[in-house]
Structure 1
């Protein structure tokens, strides 16, 4: 992998991690369509760290308030909206953590689900599901109103995103819309829910890297993390603005177009 490929892949990761269009699909496809070499575990860890830094920077006040409120809830019994949101993020992470460990042990995703055909199918299917949810959305609640059933439903939806092409942000926003959240609240909760999800994913990849024999190019790692962080931070900011003005339609159409193009390429 050369420097140009590293920059482009880092931008792809930073932009698609938080857009409802699947970051995993966009990182897999260049190697399958353009013949690029696999970026390797070390680079995967770097771009995920960049995405994590971006979401922590953007939501730094919310995260700080949630941490303080959670400790006050646990140790002082002081319940609050921020503490409830912190619990929502924690409980919402359990399903993806459990399923992620099982899939990692079995190797199902790496061995069977990283193909262009799977990505094409999930890209189209979950675009249509998002379309349906967006059209039916009641938009009557914010992220602080989530109950345990809402949280577990969104959390289980997030676990489905371990299938490439699904989109973690897309499926969690879809599930949140189904639970009656506004578009902005659905996006904000999805972004907060991404923090432990990225930590778990990055931690697993880091363990695999530490126990493997892959050589680490630290210059490439630093470049990937930095570019990914800048791209992700810009993406979060402009996505929330765009969402209020035009909703999810542009991303739905993009997914449908991408899925059709992929199917066409397989048929050629």
Structure 2
């Protein structure tokens, strides 16, 4: 299949899976192998994620502007520092630090060892169980106004686990949020906001690898894949926020465990290669 068509398919997969707690990076690693395309590489994966994060920026533009403005004003007006929007600015900054620091320190490992399909299949299953337990036993008594610095740091630490494909950035953050007693909508919305600096930063960090190197598709198909991921991702955000307001994460838990189990079977029977 032409690289451009492959990029469109992968962009669609990215847009559909980035915001669901099922790990977009795992799908971009597993499905191309199923199709016989090989590993698209960490650089291609990181850059097309910018498309879905652009969808977040546009979808939450009013929230982002309000939070950023309140945070900036609070720097010079102490009386505003207790406002939820000003505090949210600090929460996003603090929560972003773990994944930024570890992403830089573990760059080589992320691009090689962490992309082993045995690791990805295992994390799909393990983190699926974690998500299911957190959603089943976590209370829903806390909302956005109850979010604190400690909560942001813990959810940021959970998000950093998503450097391992299969964990899921949103899934790990939501799991921690639910374990801390936040309702599904609060945990999900904060996961979206927290992902913006991490994903945009990772994409920009990997831009230098696009004209060759770790990226097998080249500049043109990568741009197309990024645009497709934006369009599909924007629709996925609206759907997920509406879904979690009334329903549990159980279908995603079942899907994660099934995908991880099937991947292990295909690896054990030699249909898939762990290292591509």
Aligned counterpart, 2:87: 84
Report the Cα distance in structure 1 between the residues aligned to 2:35 and 2:216, rounded to whole angstroms.
24
Taking the TM superposition and a 5 Å limit, the aligned residue runs for 1:137-176 are 137-176=138-177
Quick check: 1:46–1:224 contact (8 Å CA) kept in 2? no
Could you tell me how far 1:44 is from its partner in structure 2?
3.5
Structure 2: 5+ residue stretches without partners: 270-276
Alpha-carbon displacement from aligned partner over 1:64-95 (angstroms, at most 9, x marks no partner): 10011001111222221111111111100001
Q: Deviations along 1:135-154, whole A, 9 cap, x unmatched? A: 11111112332222211111
Unpaired stretches in structure 1, ≥5 consecutive residues: none
Aligned length: 266
Q: Distance in 2 between matches of 1:62 and 1:8?
A: 31
Q: Deviations over 1:27-56 (max 9, x none)?
A: 111333322044356644542221121001
Alignment deviations for residues 198-233 of structure 1 (CA, whole Å, 9 cap, x no partner): 122112112444796979855423321221111111
Change (3 A) 1:100 1:244: same
Question: Alpha carbons of 1:153 and 1:42: their partners in 2 closer, same or farther (altered >3 Å)?
Answer: closer
Q: Normalising by structure 2, what TM-score?
A: 0.90
1:222 paired residue number: 223
Residue equivalent to 2:112: 111
Going from structure 1 to structure 2, the CA distance change for 1:157 and 1:222 (only over 3 Å counts) comes to: same
Q: Is 1:236 paired with 2:223? A: no
CA distance, structure 2, for counterparts of residue 16 and residue 218 of structure 1: 23
Aligned mates of 1:41, 1:266 — CA distance in 2 = 21
Instruction: Give the deviation of 1:164 after TM superposition.
Output: 1.1
Q: Decide which structure has greater helix share.
A: 1
Q: Which moved more, 1:146-155 or 1:30-39?
A: 30-39
Question: Aligned residue for 1:102?
Answer: 105
Question: Which residues of 2 match residues 237-256 of structure 1 at below 5 A?
Answer: 237-256=238-257
2:90 counterpart of 1:93: no
CA distance in 2, matches of 1:177, 1:226: 32
Aligned to 1:182: 183
8 Å Cα contact 2:19-2:170 kept in structure 1: yes
Q: Distance in 2 between matches of 1:199 and 1:94?
A: 14
* Counterpart in the other structure of 1:54: 55
CA distance in 2, matches of 1:165, 1:103: 16
CA RMSD of aligned residues (A): 2.1
CA distance in structure 1 between the partners assigned to 2:46 and 2:25 by the alignment: 13
Change (3 A) 1:42 1:118: closer
SS in 2 for 1:39: coil
- State the partner residue of 1:16: 17
